[in-house]
Amino acid sequence: MAIQILRKYLLVITFCFYYSWGQISKFEIKEYHPVSDEITSLDFKPTKFNWSIGNRFLLFDEVKNQILEVDKTGELTFPSGFNTNSIYGQFVWMGVIPEGIGVVDRLQNTIHFLDFRLNLTSTIKFEPKLYPEMVTISSWGKFYFYSKAYNSIYSFDRSLHNAMPFVDLSKERIPNNCFMDMVLNKDGDLAILSCSGTIYFFSMNGKLEVSAPVEIDDPKYIISIKNDWLVFNDDGNVFSMETGMKYKVPEVSMPILDIKSNNNSIAILSLNQIFVLDVK
């Protein structure tokens, strides 16, 4: 009994020590990328982004429905071969895929495939017409779409051009169909964050494993990093779903417009700048 108490006591000491230093050592600014004057002169205002290749980023202006790529020197690359500001389309996701760069159009129910110079190589339509609000992609290149119209998550088989049901959220008796973010980890497990501040975790086979509340106000973004799920709000507060710990990102990186992870790094899109943070 004494040994068990001692172990618990040492665990508490370790926990408290880690927590006390978490805000200092957990997130460390690694890189800083200001938005170039050229982007500003184009009246392009990025509200979403994603990692590209070679230390570059894809930027997305949701109001203009336009996409471009920027490298660390500020040099810009523009898509070629498809209309990036069509009034008939609405892009909801862009990112690196095995074939190059993928761009998902919600209203057209299409995926545009681009090479790494952002030249259009092909476009495919998926069925059924899901009008997906959120998109994420697995490490092996499979797309997952959240459709509010169907209140379901679909996986997409590119060889069949067919989206297949992955999770029917109505059958899971989830009390609402309002969601903020959806992410996969490297093992294929999926997390989806509800507007009420609860995260639902699904296995790679689509089985609901657990749900849990997020203990920060107005949670908005999920990332998977290392063996943890971190949840952020616009004010830079962070909650670890694995440990229950709370952190704060460096104040200079706020307000947060969007956030993405890549290996052990986190990129934050703020006003006119991108910060890359190392997770310690």
> Within 10 Å of residue 60's Cβ, how many Cβ atoms?
23
Q: What is the DSSP string of 225-278?
A: ETTEEEEE-TTSEEEETTT--EEE--GGG-S-SEEEEETTEEEEEETTEEEEEE
CB contact at 8 A, 101 and 95: yes
Q: Residue 73: what pLDDT? A: 86
Tell me the C-alpha distance between 151 and 131, whole Å. 11
**Amino acid identity, residue 46?**
P
**Cis-peptide, bond into residue 255, ω within 30° of zero:** yes
- pLDDT tens sequence across 27-78: 788 898 888 888 989 999 999 999 999 889 999 999 999 999 999 888 999 9
Tell me the C-alpha distance between 14 and 232, whole Å. 24
Confidence class of residue 86 from pLDDT cuts 50, 70 and 90?
low
CB contact at 8 A, 35 and 49: no
- pLDDT tens sequence across 190-228: 999 999 999 999 999 999 999 999 999 999 999 999 889
Confidence class of residue 13 from pLDDT cuts 50, 70 and 90?
very low
Span of 79-88, 95-104, 117-126, 270-279 with lowest mean pLDDT = 79-88
Residue 65, both tokens: 């429905």
Confidence class of residue 148 from pLDDT cuts 50, 70 and 90?
very high
Label the pairing between strands 110-114 and 228-232: unpaired
